[in-house]
Structure 1
Amino acid sequence: MEISVTFIAFSVAFTIVLGCLWKALDWVWLKPKKLEKLLRQQGFSGNSYKFLHGDTTEMFMMRKQAKTRTINPFSHDIASRVIPFHHHISKKYGKNSFIWMGPMPIINITDPKLIREILLRHEIFQKPKLNSLGRSVFSGMGIYEGERWFKVRKTANPAFHLDKLKGMLPKMYLSCNDMIRKWKISISNEESHELDLWPDIKALTSDVISRTTFSSSYEDGRKIFELITEQINIITQVFYFFHIPGWSFVPTKANRKLKSNEKEIREVIKGIVKKREEVLKVGEASNEDLLGLLVESNLKEIQEHGHKESGMSIEEVIDECKLFYLAGQETTATLIIWTMILLCMHPNWQERAREELFQVFGNKEPQFDELNSLKELHKIVYEVLRLYPPPLLGRATIKESKLGEIIIPPGVFISLPIILVHQDEKYWGADAKEFNPDRFSQGVSKASKNDQVSFFPFSWGPRTCIGQNFALLEAKLALAMILQNFSFQLSPTYVHTPVLGITIQPQNGAHIILQKI
């Protein structure tokens, strides 16, 4: 009897171990090889799958090497430095190519028509699911799917209506004015002065987000920004380990710091949100900033439907506040700094923008309606977004899906290398890699060849960035005030080194010579 029980226990244990080994073998070898065969049958090409790590080793090395190179003479053909491996694979295998993030194949889609289809069919082509480390940085409606995304998007929409943004312009002006004053003091009695403007622009956009999101808790807002900035720096270091199952549970120094920062961020925001909810419940208005508008809209949703599930939970409100910081600070800062750098490289456009600006405003404080009437600045900003966009978007397939003539099996990820699309001569003409804002003279729909929209700086379709108008308003205001007060040119010490962070950043700063007007 004892032998029989021991035998059964051994058999069960052996079966479990065998099952686990089979699953591991399937994950690390059998499934990747099967998917590779299916992709090649669909006309895709790429490196053969390498056990466990795929292309990640080569990807890491190419990115490391790219950071040591400068782009000289200055050029806007930057993809080989910003996304070197994607650029290399597309050159080697053509547009229908795939890469390996560990055992996961990722197909590159660069046809604007297919990109629009993917972004429109968001219920099928979803945001890739993140592990706990990824969620410590990326959060909110930016990663939600299905009904949860719809609920949060609907609740947050009122905070981004144009009439609400108009009311935030004075807060943005205060932040911009503080930076302008600081620059004028730096120049003092000199005719001109050289500064690395990148830290100041980052400080400006974090200042704007702090004022417009947490106006009554401004210092807490600054603390959140510092922690999120640290999170971004850490996450870029550990990104290449994300495909390893269970990696987020490994107690490395980076992982522990990501988790402790996330806990602190959530505690600070939670305290601010609770105070704001209490104020609104006793009838005291507190909707002068993004958080107030979000909390107010959320309470209305709950009151209208009579149950809490119709509104956002406290955790979802916290996630949206984190997203305001990440998206609002990072993307707007890079848009402003690249616009300044490109206006230095193309001084004729700097003069065109300034001339129009003085015709509309003179030396007066820029106002909302007049800012939106600045055609030259509008074209310039859009051209900068074309040449220096968020370079990659990612999607995952939840079931076998047809895309054009392609059948995409489940388990395949989709990469949308937007920067390659934005600089493709097929869609933008022979000057695709050159700075030519006039291509946007008749709007986005007429900017690319054959009137085929090939412009995706804020994504596309139902999941177009909710903060698009906020970012454009802030960028235009900052640039208008800078152009009113200074002329600027690149310093001889400036080196053109665009590098991939969350967005495209100037790796070695932005050394610019300012001259007071």
Structure 2
Amino acid sequence: MEESLVTLVLVCVCAVITGAILRVLYLVWFKPKMLEMQLRKQGIPGNTYRPLTGDMDDEKAAVKEAWSKPMKLTHSIIPRVIPYDHYMVKRYGKIWFKWNGTTPRVNICDPDMIREILVNKSGHFIKLKVNPLVMLLSMGLTALEGEVWAQRRKLINPAFHFDKLKEMVPAFRTSCIGLAERWEKLVSAEGSCELDIWPEFQNLTGDVISRSAFGSSFEEGKRIFELQKEQAVLVMEAARSLYLPGFRFLPTAKNKRRMFIDKEIKRMLREIISKKLDLMEMGTSANDDLLGLLLQSYNQNTTSKDKTKNNGITIDDIIEECKLFYFAGQETTSVLLTWTLILLSIHPNWQQKAREEVLHTCGKNPPDFESISHLKIVNMIIHEVLRLYPPAIVMARQINKKTKLGDITLPEGADVWIPVLEVHHDPEIWGEDAGEFNPQRFSEGVAKASKSQNAFFPFGWGPRICMGQTFAMIEAKLALAMILQRFSFELSPSYAHAPYTVVTLQPQYGAHLILHQL
């Protein structure tokens, strides 16, 4: 009897172990090889699958080499920013696949196919599933799918309504005036000074976010921004490395730092939320900013028996939305303004054209919503900067069901890789001067700027297009107009041209300019 029981136990253990081994073999070898076979049948070229890591080690080595030194002062930045993808394009052409661990990522450059992916009428292109360490940066709206995403977006959307953004302009102006006055003090003694504008614009956009979305000044949110920036570096390192299940629980130095930052950010946001709730209960705080709208829904939800009726939002959900807005709202506009001033320093003729337009439209008065809407040249310049230096250089989607895309059929389990930077620099789409700074191409609007109406998407496309794009554009135009009114600027001899990515496209060694008082 006992021997039979022992035998049965051993058989069960062996069966479990055998099942686990077969499962691992399927995930690590058989499934990737089947996906590779299906892609090659479609005529899509790519590297041969290598177990577990795929192309990740080669990609990391290429990035390390490319980012080890600055580049020449040119806008042809693809070889430095995405060196491995650049190598794949030269080897295979515009459509190919690479291996992100055990998952093939199919590079799609055709604008019409990209539009189909981002509009996603089929519902087969879903947000990419990332490892838990990457999700520490934010699990807000961008991480949601389906009905939950639709409800959350509907809840947040009023905060970005056009009329609401017009009401935020005074807060934008207050922050921009503070920046301009600080710069005037720096240049007043000598008439000029050298300044790294990258941290300056990070502070500016952080202040704008805090004032307009949370009713606080930058100082209250400064520690959150600093921690979010550090977390972004740690998260990108995790994203470029192979993740094994359970690794996040190992007490490595970086894991402990990631978890500490996450807890600290959540603690500080809880304090801000608690203060806002108290003020709302006393009737001394409006509930029409982003945080107020979210908390209004939370208050309804806590008193409603039907949680789905009120979006089922919790304080933890609100914290994640705040994390997302703090990071995305600050990073997108700060990098846009930084690259705009760098490019206008390289191309002083366009700087002068923009300044003349601002002075003609606004004079020396602080620009307002009405005046910036008439800044056509400034608008053209910002669009050209977004083309050459888009904040997000790639987008990705996961395929959850075998689906037809153009004349190819993509298998379930593969990813699609949308190279924004590559499409924005494609000479076949933008002409032979695609690598040059030429705002004139946008003189008749975005639709007529290229040979394809779907080739410009710095803020994404379709139902998941960035909600904050108008917010970012208004803020950027106000700041740029105010700077052009008061200063001229040129590159410092110490400036090193080195675009690279830490979630967004940033200047690796800062952005050192010489400011001159006008």
Bucket of the pairwise TM-score, normalised by the shorter protein: over 0.9
1:80 aligns with 2:82: no
Q: Is the 8 A contact 1:356 1:374 kept in 2?
A: yes
Corresponding residue for 1:91? 90
Q: Please give the alpha-carbon distance, in whole angstroms, between the structure 2 residues aligned to 1:199 and 1:326.
A: 14
Cα distance change, pair 396–299 in 1 and its aligned pair in 2 (3 A): same
Q: What secondary structure does 1:446 align onto? A: coil
Q: What secondary structure does 2:14 align onto? A: helix
Q: CA deviation at 1:36?
A: 0.8
Q: Is the 8 A contact 2:131 2:243 kept in 1?
A: no
Matches within 5 A, 1:440-459: 440-449=442-451, 451-459=452-460
Instruction: Provide, for residues 235-289 of structure 1, a one-character-per-residue CA deviation record: whole Å limited to 9, x for no partner.
Output: 1222222543333233221112112211221222123223323443454442364
Instruction: Provide, for residues 282-337 of structure 1, a one-character-per-residue CA deviation record: whole Å limited to 9, x for no partner.
Output: 5444236432244346657889x873332322222111111111111111111000
Greater CA drift, 217-226 or 33-42: 217-226
Matches within 5 A, 1:36-75: 36-72=36-72, 74-75=73-74
Q: CA deviation at 1:56?
A: 0.8
Q: CA deviation at 1:131?
A: 2.8
Instruction: Provide, for residues 171-217 of structure 1, a one-character-per-residue CA deviation record: whole Å limited to 9, x for no partner.
Output: 22222222212211211221321112111111111121122222247
1:358 aligns with 2:332: no
1:375 aligns with 2:376: yes
Greater CA drift, 238-247 or 2-11: 238-247
Q: CA deviation at 1:145?
A: 0.6
User: Which residue of 431, 434, 447 corresponds with 1:432?
Assistant: 434
Q: What secondary structure does 1:245 align onto? A: coil
TM-score (norm 1): 0.96
Code of the aligned partner of 1:459 = G
Corresponding residue for 2:184? 184
Code of the aligned partner of 2:10 = F
Corresponding residue for 2:389? 388
Q: Is the 8 A contact 2:498 2:509 kept in 1?
A: yes
Q: Is the 8 A contact 2:206 2:218 kept in 1?
A: no
Greater CA drift, 335-344 or 30-39: 30-39
Corresponding residue for 1:102? 101
Instruction: Provide, for residues 60-84 of structure 1, a one-character-per-residue CA deviation record: whole Å limited to 9, x for no partner.
Output: 0000000123221x11110111111
Q: Please give the alpha-carbon distance, in whole angstroms, between the structure 1 residues aligned to 2:223 and 2:192.
A: 34
Q: CA deviation at 1:469?
A: 0.6
Corresponding residue for 1:502? 503
Code of the aligned partner of 2:427 = E
Q: What secondary structure does 2:447 align onto? A: helix
Q: CA deviation at 1:6?
A: 0.7
| Over 6 Å off, 4+ runs | 300-303
Q: What secondary structure does 1:258 align onto? A: helix
Code of the aligned partner of 1:177 = I
Cα distance change, pair 242–165 in 1 and its aligned pair in 2 (3 A): farther
Q: Please give the alpha-carbon distance, in whole angstroms, between the structure 2 residues aligned to 1:14 and 1:131.
A: 30
Q: Is the 8 A contact 1:336 1:475 kept in 2?
A: yes
Q: What secondary structure does 2:79 align onto? A: helix
Q: Please give the alpha-carbon distance, in whole angstroms, between the structure 2 residues aligned to 1:329 and 1:217.
A: 14
- Unaligned 5+ runs, structure 1: none
Code of the aligned partner of 2:86 = H
Greater CA drift, 223-232 or 142-151: 223-232
1:489 aligns with 2:490: yes
Instruction: Provide, for residues 466-509 of structure 1, a one-character-per-residue CA deviation record: whole Å limited to 9, x for no partner.
Output: 00011111111111111011000111221211111111111111
Code of the aligned partner of 1:14 = C
Q: Is the 8 A contact 1:220 1:268 kept in 2?
A: no
Q: Is the 8 A contact 1:46 1:97 kept in 2?
A: yes
Q: Is the 8 A contact 2:33 2:49 kept in 1?
A: yes
Greater CA drift, 463-472 or 241-250: 241-250
Q: Please give the alpha-carbon distance, in whole angstroms, between the structure 2 residues aligned to 1:427 and 1:364.
A: 40
Q: Please give the alpha-carbon distance, in whole angstroms, between the structure 2 residues aligned to 1:456 and 1:268.
A: 34
Q: Is the 8 A contact 1:109 1:415 kept in 2?
A: yes
Corresponding residue for 2:117? 118
Code of the aligned partner of 1:19 = G
Matches within 5 A, 1:133-172: 133-172=133-172
Cα distance change, pair 315–423 in 1 and its aligned pair in 2 (3 A): same
Greater CA drift, 412-421 or 164-173: 164-173
Q: Please give the alpha-carbon distance, in whole angstroms, between the structure 2 residues aligned to 1:404 and 1:455.
A: 19
Code of the aligned partner of 2:88 = I
Corresponding residue for 2:347? 346
Greater CA drift, 18-27 or 190-199: 190-199
Cα distance change, pair 354–302 in 1 and its aligned pair in 2 (3 A): farther
Q: Is the 8 A contact 2:398 2:415 kept in 1?
A: yes
Q: Is the 8 A contact 1:343 1:350 kept in 2?
A: yes
Code of the aligned partner of 1:70 = P
TM-score (norm 2): 0.95
Q: Is the 8 A contact 2:194 2:512 kept in 1?
A: yes
Corresponding residue for 2:327? 326
Cα RMSD (Å) of the superposition? 1.8
Q: Please give the alpha-carbon distance, in whole angstroms, between the structure 1 residues aligned to 2:255 and 2:17.
A: 29
